[in-house]
Amino acid sequence: MKKINVRSPFFLDVDAEESIANPTQPTQTVQVDCGDTYNTGIDVGNTIYEFSTQETGTVQINVTGNNVPVKFAVEWDGVEQINTGYIGLDSYDGELLSSGVQQAEINTSNPSTKNTTLTFNKTTSTPELVKVIATAPLINDDYSLVFNCPSPPVVVIDQTTQINIWFDNSGSMNSTLSPLQSMVAGNLKSCLVQFYNNDGAEYDKYVQIKQFAYERTFLVAAEPPLVQGATKCINIIFQDEANGVYHPNYFNDQIRTGSYDVDIVHLRNIFANNPTGYITPIIFQVQSTTEPGFKQLLQAVEDGEGRYSLGYGLEDYADRVKFYYDVESAVSYSSNPTYYRDKIIQGINDLGFSLTCP
């Protein structure tokens, strides 16, 4: 809608104005995101709504609105997937025809048909761009669009899944190593070996405890599948502190270290450039009375607090990484053999898997 501020001159340029015979108005492009609701009020002309999704599956756009007819078309991969024709109240048919719309394109009715759902199957992850083209040759009253993308796939464990259980062996939680080793060789194996064709050797090949002393949580979280034949990797990390590497003695969410920046950007790049499930970190913060800063760091990363947001946190990847806090250290395998195993299984299940261990 033009605004005419009459205390200043307002010029009508005869040659710049649109012809009445041509209902096409300047097209505006609007960027939206999956899950967004876009409300349009009085408007006329063409609007292209663009959003991107890596996921495959059903893309759904919910259309609600009043009476004035609008045509909605959905385009993906260069092909028009849906075209509603002009939907709305049939009393506007005459105006549509006058503005050059063909009768065959008019799908109006009484009551208005401008309440519908546009659905198509996005069969491949690329191209990611989906366009919804709204054509409104008449002055529109209003409509709303809700852009629903396919849900990301749940984490799947199969015989090409490498599972790394990372143990911080910098010294402060050494007593936890032994119970973890016992678990991996014991009841975790009994639970997960089914996914490796019940082949114990295959399980041992893909599921391993790895030790690291450099305390760079998000570097090991980004470890890719390295075992021959593995196509995806779950990195389960047990760690109680990262003092000096990721934060000073006391955590401050306005301060980031250089190592942290490098590691988090690397991990985010892997997330951005690979499908869900390629890398799945599950981070367990092991209790520590002397190092409260590590827990605060992880919470800041998870929630996007302070300077741990806007590309330097993981709040926008909540479906691809999980954090667990205050895990007890040195829980004896002999006295409580399921403690660490259940934590790991819970983490996997929270990512969408449904796994029950005996």
Partner 1 sequence: MATVSAELKLWVYTGNFGSRAATPNYTITKRKIPTESKIIFEVGELIKDYIEIYFDGDYQAVRQTAWVEWEITKTLSDASTETITGSGIALNGYGYFEDGINPQLSNGLLQSNTIMYVKSGDNPYIPIFTGGNGVFEVKYYTGTTLISTQTFGNSVTLLTIDTTSITADTTVYDASMTEIRNQSNQNTISNTVASGSPDRVVITDVNGGETTVNIYYIEECKQTPYRVSFLNKFGVVQPMYFFKRRDEYVDVTNESYYINTINRTATTLNYSLNSPSKNIFNVEAGKRIKLNTGFVDQQFNEVIQQLLMTDQAWIEEGGVAYPIIPITKSLQYKTELNDKLINFTVEFEYAYSEINLIR
Tell the smallest beta-carbon distance from residue 29 to partner 1 (Å). Answer: 10
Tell the smallest beta-carbon distance from residue 228 to partner 1 (Å). Answer: 47
d(CA 325, CA 120): 41
Tell the smallest beta-carbon distance from residue 253 to partner 1 (Å). Answer: 17
d(CA 202, CA 214): 29
Tell the smallest beta-carbon distance from residue 26 to partner 1 (Å). Answer: 12
Q: Which of 10, 250 has the CB closer to partner 1?
A: 10
Which residues form the interface with partner 1 (CB under 8 A)?
Answer: 1-15, 17-21, 28, 30, 38-44, 66, 139, 141-142
d(CA 330, CA 202): 28
Q: Which of 19, 273 has the CB closer to partner 1?
A: 19
d(CA 85, CA 70): 8
Tell the smallest beta-carbon distance from residue 136 to partner 1 (Å). Answer: 10
- Residue 10 neighbours by CB under 8 Å, 6+ apart: 4
Q: Which of 40, 239 has the CB closer to partner 1?
A: 40
Q: Which of 2, 171 has the CB closer to partner 1?
A: 2
d(CA 335, CA 178): 13
Q: Which of 140, 239 has the CB closer to partner 1?
A: 140
The DSSP letter of residue 300 is H
Tell the smallest beta-carbon distance from residue 297 to partner 1 (Å). Answer: 23
Q: Which of 40, 187 has the CB closer to partner 1?
A: 40
Contact criterion met (CB below 8 Å) for 88 and 69: yes
Contact criterion met (CB below 8 Å) for 42 and 140: yes
d(CA 358, CA 293): 36
* Side chain identity, residue 78: G
